[in-house]
Amino acid sequence: MLLLTGGAAQASTRPVLLVMGDSLSAAYGIEQQAGWVSLLQARLDGKAQVVNASISGETSSGAAARLPDLLGQHEPDIVVLELGGNDGLRGLPPGQFEANMATMVEASQASGAEVLLLGIDIPPNYGRAYRDAFTAVYTRLAEEYELPLVPFLLEGVALEEELMQSDGIHPTAAAQPRILENVWPRLAPLLEANGAVVAESAQD
């Protein structure tokens, strides 16, 4: 787990943002500072405290088990859930994935945090029916819990060969600014609502 913060003395005056993700948010295969979460921290320039609790290989069940302690430790104002890729690649039933995510949403909201969902897709070889059922989980959760949703985190990235690592799954460092731009329009209003003065159209 990586804690990105500019000083504990300021923490009480800034909103706390907790990112619960997998390798897509843990900067797998690239320098940590090049990842989109680190780019977000740089963009915020001290206006919020960013806690990146993302772990490569993380699943929704693993994150759900870790989340209560993290909520108690960091008392976040915003929780970003970027999970599902490893569940999908393992063929987890969509219903179980949805139950795990719902548990995290409810725990986050019960702690007083707002939640942002970041959706993903899985490779075509898993079949259209499974992919549709899996990606529909994000939309259903967003509607049920009235959450902001980024439908596809890797929009404009996943189909661009030069923006993907050789495994075809993980984005390159060059893709990270685009990923942040995909997240920013949904995240900025939450930051503003929690006291961080940011421009929704801010650019790096």
52's CB contacts (< 8 A; 6+ apart) are 1, 2, 3, 4, 19, 21, 25, 26, 37, 38
Alpha carbons 61 and 58: distance in angstroms, whole number: 8
Tell me which DSSP letter residue 32 carries. Answer: G
**Catalytic pick among 12, 166, 167, 201:** 167
**Catalytic pick among 74, 108, 111, 170:** 170
132 is catalytic: no
Q: Which class for 1: exposed (0-12), middle (13-18), buried (19 or more C-beta within 10 A)?
A: exposed
**Catalytic pick among 23, 25, 60, 111:** 23
74 is catalytic: no
Positions marked active-site:
23, 167, 170
